[in-house]
Structure 1
């Protein structure tokens, strides 16, 4: 049996993997490590959940540890301010955090420093980290280009560059920015590209930036994992769909429910919480602080239900998700496969359910055919044995939190001006998580989320059954309009990746 030690990885890295319970490489790791550790450019293809993150993290930290030791022996510093030595580009902030969670322990075992850069939060802390010196920079293209333009860093010292989820970056329109960034990295550096597919212009990036790449493809990108069981539940109407979805959310294990729109995700999470099934939401209208709190609550098991848009279809790795529910069938088959990939990861099993209304039958048939899913629709109603079997053990009812009482509003002229917020925005002291933005620029205010009163205690998930409050597109509460036609402050729109 092949082990990580067989590849000649540094002893501290092998020890760290063992302490995490990771002893046997996955196929993509076994296939690619010999070439990546040898300094070759590599193109890795594999479906979601196949272990690509560790496949590129190991050669990155190994290479940097070697070059750092050489620098020290030559009397040069291990790292310099604003000059990262490795760059990992990825499409979303959630994926950046997930990559960092995998790579940071390995890097620390070798005395290396990692940091993340993405939009939706204030850049001041990111600039501080860069100025302190980092070895590995994990970044989304938009914010990285901003910081490069402001001359907060240079990519001249980058020894190894990784493009992760390259096809998703193409789907999001990031490839022009990716090319501009790649043009600023040294031509002599090693480059690794990991992607599920090579469509939408990814092949152009491969030809332009990878030198004689070695290709490793361990899974057919369009094929679902064999441990994943698919179900199509046909319901009679919208009321039956609602009851079936609520039943599927009520089990004791972790489950992810996907909706088509941000509004539906927010609404469904609030409905479930109000009915005794604690749920948090994840979508583009949430500020970064709310995203991190909600994902942390789901990852820790404090909340077992995550209601999300396709923002969570990639880059969200949480162990032991036993059920994925397509509340709204996605528009195309790749989204179906990536959504479904939140379960049955790393060799474990899982169930995937698509809830289908009568008018969606044709679309679902085309979707499953393209995704190569062999599942026949089953007509179900609330309480049917098929639904009950998928639910499993029902979780105990959790009484929804009572809404926070609002302080009585003073009349105009009673000593407090109207139209603004109290100092601090109504948040409890310390309620803004690390990395949240202090102002009202891109990404919104991390300490306040949709559906809440902005007076939660620190660490409480954003969706918790509080009375609803209007929100802007960036996830923060709008300022009231001035009496004489003034505009509320802030910008609409989803936060940048």
Structure 2
């Protein structure tokens, strides 16, 4: 249905930006029963929340005829958790209120305080800011809320998660009586409910997303990978889906590592993390919007609330810590009715963790292996042919160029020229990675590793190796097919130096050739941040330089 009656300046702004009808959340806040009331709204990211609250508080800030008087003390205050989201909200409200004469300014951490002081002294109708910076201005006396008609808390759950409760309460305690409080949150945990009870009056609860329907425009894929194969699998995922993407990591260190890995392999990538200056973060986001960059690698906080048009893919390079983080990350795609894909890279030992995470978020995911290099190359062939044909069909060639083309065809022939064109188009694509993990899903059952059979064929004097214990078993999807390359990488040994691998319910026992046991012990004992908590230790009673399996182990072997 079309938008209900709105002031003419807002109606024209919506039409100019392609808004033919309201989204679910916009329709809900504009209903007659919501007018003049405090609102407690839960809505998924990408649902049009910024326009929704901009329209909701319009009656409180606009005079008759939809125009505003000269700017003075702010009439509306919007609080957002991050600089990027606050600046994005300021931009949205600026175009929405452009014809009303509204002056919209931002006050965010990382920006020049002197510039903000000057802007506030010149007056503003709407102020958008982050909690810490807004509190600074209140304490300085540079922000006066005595004329405030509406306050909006955007992404309120994230602000509480980030530890801004004190700042929010300090700001809300200084708001005048009689104003509207509009609280928007993806979820309504107990902390948000308590905040609403304290600072809202008879709030209207609006659930703008039907239960169980969150992110229905997002297809979830869970891709199983071996430990230490995650970043190579990421390369293949980005190449396979061939979409503008955001890749989420848990820490700034991981962002730097993944960003370096992608740029080294030829991806046009940018990084977004907390230690960057505001100017650097703005340049990174603009590169994505201008399509100069194809991939953004980011932490959760840095990417909170950013809106990237036509972002087709979200990759969870590291599993999110909880269901809300999963939904917030994934919500960067599938926005405003567009389809999107969210991919979780799941190391085999963490599959059950991922399954519980998806179940708690009420998300159905398709489980699959990582795309292989061969499959990507086959898909590339079809894409390159289409690109070459499209280039020929749409090209507007000058007579001189056509003459040169005929000369080339006479010298080489059409097939050779076409092949050279396809090769040139494909030369800019990053090469896919060869993954050691087989494409089919692992089966959790004990078996001898290929190295053991090879050693028996080569003849190793029948000497027993040294046994080690890993703290993963069938309960964490342990399987020799991914454990073998993991052991070689972690322990600095070859496949021929790995003997029997016995997978039990909660642990795995592996035999290492006696000649390599000391080297394996030294390498496997070094700290590692990317092995999903897998520990390796000598089996009780084994001597690193010894030659035989302990007696207790032989008995355990027979029971297995």
In structure 2, the residue matched to 1:28 is 25
Q: Is the 8 A contact 1:261 1:309 kept in 2?
A: yes
In the TM superposition, what is the alpha-carbon distance from 1:35 to its structure 2 partner?
4.6
State yes or no: 1:79 paired with 2:71: yes
Which residue is 1:299 aligned to? 289
User: Is the contact between residue 197 and residue 221 of structure 1 (CA under 8 Å) also seen in structure 2?
Assistant: no
Q: Give the equivalent residue in structure 2 for 1:123.
A: 113
Q: Give, in angstroms, the shift of residue 380 of structure 1.
A: 3.3
Q: What is the aligned partner in structure 2 of residue 467 from structure 1?
A: none
Classify 1:215/1:37 alpha carbon distance in 2 versus 1 (closer, same or farther; 3 Å): closer
- Say which of 48, 52, 56 aligns to 2:49: 52
Distance 1:370 1:384 in 2: 35
**Secondary structure, aligned partner of 2:301:** helix
SS at structure 1 position matched to 2:62: helix
Distance in 2 (CA, whole Å) between partners of 1:388 and 1:220 is: 41
1:201-235: CA deviations, max 9, x gaps? 11112111211111211214775322211111112
Cα deviation, residue 281, structure 1: 0.7
Shift of the 393–299 alpha-carbon distance from structure 1 to 2, 3 Å rule, reads farther
Q: What RMSD over aligned residues (CA atoms) do the two structures have, in Å?
A: 2.6
8 Å Cα contact 2:181-2:200 kept in structure 1: yes
Q: Deviations over 1:89-115 (max 9, x none)?
A: 111111101111211011221100101
Using the TM superposition, give the Cα deviation of residue 170 of structure 1 relative to its aligned residue in structure 2, in angstroms: 1.0
In structure 2, distance between residues paired with 1:391 and 1:225: 33
Instruction: Decide which structure has greater helix share.
Output: 2
Closer, same or farther in 2 for the Cα pair 1:190/1:309, shift >3 Å? same
Describe the shift of the 1:208–1:68 C-alpha distance in structure 2 as closer, same or farther (beyond 3 A): farther
Corresponding position of 1:228: 218
Q: Does 1:97 align with 2:87?
A: yes
- The answer to whether the 8 A contact 1:87-1:161 is kept is yes
Note the residue ranges of structure 1 that are not aligned, 5 or more in a row. Answer: 73-77, 401-497
Who is 2:327 aligned against? Answer: 337
The question of whether the paired residues in 1 share the 8 Å contact of 2:71 and 2:102 is answered with no
Closer, same or farther in 2 for the Cα pair 1:397/1:345, shift >3 Å?
A: farther
* Alpha-carbon distance, 1:246 to partner: 1.2
1:263 maps to 2:253: yes
Q: For residue 502 of structure 2, what is the aligned residue in structure 1?
A: none
Partner in structure 2 of residue 19 of structure 1: 16
In 2, Cα distance between the equivalents of 1:181 and 1:343?
Answer: 32
1:41 equivalent to 2:38? Answer yes
Structure-1 separation of matches of 2:300 and 2:141: 33
The verdict on how the C-alpha distance between 1:43 and 1:351 changes in structure 2, with shifts beyond 3 A counting, is same
1:323 aligns with 2:322: no
Question: What is the match of residue 122 of structure 2?
Answer: 132
Distance 1:37 1:231 in 2: 38
Q: 1:381 to 1:346 in 2, by over 3 A?
A: closer
Q: 1:391 Cα shift?
A: 13
**Do structure 1's residue 246 and structure 2's residue 235 form an aligned pair?**
yes
Distance 1:313 1:335, change over 3 A: farther
Task: Pick one of 166, 170, 188 that aligns with 2:160.
Answer: 170
Aligned to 1:100, what secondary structure does the other structure show?
Answer: helix
1:148-167 maps to which residues of 2 (within 5 A)? 148-167=138-157
1:200: how far off? 4.4
How far 1:163 moved relative to its partner? Answer: 1.0
Distance change (3 Å), C-alpha of 1:229 and 1:376:
closer
Task: Give the conservation status (yes or no) of the 8 Å contact 2:29–2:35.
Answer: no
Q: Deviations over 1:148-175 (max 9, x none)?
A: 1111121111111111111111111112
**Partner residue in 2 for 1:473:** none
Pick the aligned partner of 2:304 from 308, 311, 314: 314
Contact 1:171 1:200 in 2 (8 A): no
Please report the TM-score for the alignment, with normalisation by the length of structure 2: 0.65
Q: Displacement, 1:393?
A: 5.1
Deviations 1:66-98 (A, max 9, x none): 1797985xxxxx322xx2111011111111011
Q: Which runs of 5+ in 2 are unaligned?
A: 385-424, 431-560
Give the SS at the match of 1:66.
coil
CA distance in 1, matches of 2:209, 2:352: 28
User: 1:54 & 1:89 partners in 2: Cα distance?
Assistant: 15
Runs of 4+ off more than 6 Å: 67-71, 386-392
Closer/same/farther in 2, CA of residues 106 and 297 from structure 1, 3 Å limit: same
Query: How far, CA to CA, are the matches of 1:354 and 1:382 in structure 2?
Result: 17
Alignment partner, residue 414 of structure 2: none
The alpha-carbon distance between structure 1 residues 69 and 333, as it changes in their structure 2 partners (threshold 3 A), is closer
On the 8 A contact 2:62/2:68 being kept in 1, the answer is: no
Instruction: Give the Å deviation of 1:125.
Output: 0.9
Q: How far off is 1:62 after superposition?
A: 4.6
| Compared CA separation, residues 109 and 160, structure 1 to 2 (3 A) | same
| Aligned partner (choices 352, 357, 361) of residue 371 of structure 1 | 361
Q: Is the 8 A contact 2:8 2:66 kept in 1?
A: no
User: 3-state SS of the aligned residue for 2:184?
Assistant: strand
Structure whose alpha-carbon radius of gyration is higher = 2
1:3 and 2:13 aligned: no
Contact 1:170 1:200 (C-alpha < 8 Å) held by counterparts: no
Give the CA deviation at 1:316: 0.9
Counterparts of 2:382 and 2:95, CA distance in 1: 36
